[in-house]
Chains A and B, each alone.
Chain A
Amino acid sequence: MNPSPSSRPYLQSEVIPETPGATGLAGGNTEARDVVLVREMASGDDRALGTLYDRWHAVVHGVVARVLRQPDDIEDVVEETFWQAWRQASRFDPARGAVQTWLLTIARSRALDRARALRRRRESPIEGDDGEVVVEQAAASDPGLDAEATERRQIVTAALSQLPAEQRQALELGYYGGLSQSEIAERTGQPLGTVKTRMRLAMQKLRSQLQILHSEGGP
C-alpha cells in the first residue's frame, strides 16, 4: 500500500542560508502587475486571464502535482484553479494577500477536493506518497520564476526547513495530504495528542517566521 509518510517530505525543505530582509520584499512590481491583471479579469478581459495563466501556470501546476498524481486529474485541477480565479476575480482583495498566494490557495483547495473525492471512491491512495513523481517534477521546475516570487518561496521553504522533522511531517500530511489529525495519528502510529501538539507548534513557528511576508505588504 502506502509507504511510510516519512519516506518523502511533501513540502520543499531545502535550506536557505539567509532569509532576505524586509527591505528586499517591499515595493513589488510583480504583485502590482498581478493585481492589475486580476482587476482586468474582473472586468471581463479574458486576455488578462491568459497573461495570468502564462505567469503562474507552472507554480499552480507544482502545487497541484504535490497533491495529485494522475496527469488527467492534475490537468483538470490546474484548469479549474484558473477558472475559479476568473470567476472570483472581483472578490480578490489585495489587502488579504498576494495574487500568487490567492491562486495557490485555490489550487491546493481544488486539488484536495479532488484527492478526497478519489479517496472516497477508493480509486486512489493519498496522492504523492511514493515521491517518484515529485522527484521528476522537481527536476523539471520552472527556472523562469521571477525574483519576487522566488524570494517569497525561499522564505517559506527556509521557515519549513527550520522545523523539526516530526513537526514538518504533521504539517505536510495535513496540508498536502488533506488528512485530519486523527488520520495522521492513525497513519503515523503516534498518539493523537502528540500529533495535535506537533501541528500546533509547527504552525506557531511558521507564523512567526512568515510575518515578513505580511508586514511589508508582501514581496
Chain B
Amino acid sequence: MTDGMTHEAASEALEALALDALDASERAEVLAHVAGCAECQRELAALERTSNELALAAAPLAMAPAQRDRIRARLLARAGAERAVAERAFAEQRAESSGPARPSEVVTLRAPRRGMGTSAWMAMAAGLVAIVGMGGYMSARRERDALRASLQAAQAERGVRLAAVDSLRATLEDKDRMIANLTGAQVAVMTMASQSPTSPTGRMFWDQAHNAWTLVAHRVPMPKSGRTYQLWLVTPTAKINAGTFMPKPDGEVMVRATMAMPTDSLAAVAVTDEPMGGSAQPTTAPMMVATAR
C-alpha cells in the first residue's frame, strides 16, 4: 500500500469515519486504506449500522397540521408529476414499438429445476402467480391512470381547439357580413367630402337590407386630447347619434353600426369633432359629410 496510513491507524479511525467526523484529509487517507482492506470494510459496515441507529434517539416531533399537510401535498404533487412524465415517455416508447406486446406482458414459463419437490415447485409457481398478479395489477392501474390523464389532456386540448375553431368561424362570418355590407345589391355608397387640411377621404356603405352602416375613411387626423369623432345619420327632422370612434395612428378608419332607417329618410351622413364620450347633438361643424341622393 502506498496510502501512507497503517492498518492500525486506519482501524482506529473507523468509528469517526462512520460518524462522518473526520477532517477531509484524514478521511481521504482512511478511505484509501479501507478500499484495499477487507477487514476494515467489514468493520466500517458494522460501525455505520451503529451510527445509523443513533438517529432513533431523536424524539418524534409533531408538526403543525398546516405544515404537515403542505409538505405532503408538495411531495405528492412532485411524485405525481414525475410519474406522469415517466408514463408519457413510456407511452411514447410503446407507440413507437412495432412489437405486438410489451415485454412485461410476455411471461416465459420455465420448467422447475431437477430435484425440486412438487411442493417447492408449487410454492414457486404460487409466488410467480402472486408476483405476476401484483405486477399486472400495478401495471394495469398505472395504465388506467395514464389513460385517464391522457383523456383529460385530450379533452382539454379538444376544448382549446374547439374554441379556436369557433373563434375562426365567428371571424369568418363577420368578414362575410362585412363584404355583404359593402357589396350587396342594396348597398348605397356615399362619398364623404371634407374641408379638413389633411384632406381625409371616405365612403359610407349603407346596407339597407341589413340596416348595416360601414364608414371607411383615410388620412383622418387624430383628434386633440379629450376629443373624439362622432358619426351622425341626418334626417330632415333629426341628427341621429351613430357612435363615436377614433382613427388608427395611420389615419385609417373603419366604423360599423347597425341602425334601421327608412330608405327615403336619410338626408346626410356627417362626422363631427366632439368631447370624449360623444354629444347628444353635434357641437361643431362636420369635418366630413356625405349627402344622400
Task: Report which A residues bind B (CB closer than 8 A).
Answer: 11-13, 40, 43-46, 49-50, 53-54, 57-59, 61-63, 65-66, 71, 75, 78-79, 82-83, 86, 96-97, 100-102, 104-105, 107-108, 112, 137-138, 140-142, 145, 152-153, 155-157, 160, 171, 174-175, 178-182, 184, 196, 199-200, 202-204, 206-207, 210, 213-214
Contact = CB atoms under 8 A, between A and B. Distances in A.
A181 B16 contact: yes
B50 A203 contact: yes
Contacts of A196: 12-13, 16
Contacts of A58: 60-63
Contact of B51 (A43, A45, A203): A203
A50 B59 contact: no
A63 B55 contact: yes
A101 B55 contact: yes
Interface string B43-54: 000110111111
A143 to B, nearest CB: 8
B86 A175 contact: no
Interface stretch (B64-72, B92-100, B260-268): B64-72
B72 A203 contact: no
A200 B17 CA distance: 10
Contacts of B70: 75
Nearest to B63: A61
B156 interface: no
A14 to B, nearest CB: 9
Interface string B6-36: 0000001101101111110000000000000
B49 A214 contact: yes
A207 B50 contact: yes
Nearest to B75: A82
A145 B22 CA distance: 34
A12 B61 CA distance: 13
Contacts of B130: none
Nearest to B45: A96
Contact of A12 (B59, B68, B79): B59
Contacts of A71: 67
Interface string B180-219: 0000000000000000000000000000000000000000
A204 B56 contact: no
B175 interface: no
B58 interface: yes
B45 to A, nearest CB: 9
Residue with the highest number of chain B CB atoms closer than 10 Å, among A46, A49, A137, A206: A46
A204 B60 contact: no
B260 to A, nearest CB: 64
A192 B81 CA distance: 50
A209 to B, nearest CB: 9
A80 to B, nearest CB: 10
Contact of A101 (B47, B52, B58, B86): B52
Contacts of B80: 46
Contact of A140 (B20, B52, B62): B62
A104 B16 contact: no
Residue with the highest number of chain A CB atoms closer than 10 Å, among B16, B67, B70, B72: B16
B6 to A, nearest CB: 15
A53 B72 CA distance: 7
B83 interface: yes
Contacts of A46: 76, 79-80, 83
Contact of A174 (B12, B16, B52, B68): B16
Contacts of B13: 196
Contacts of A82: 71, 75
Given A49-B79, A62-B61, A156-B57, A57 B19 contact: no
B114 interface: no
A179 B23 CA distance: 9
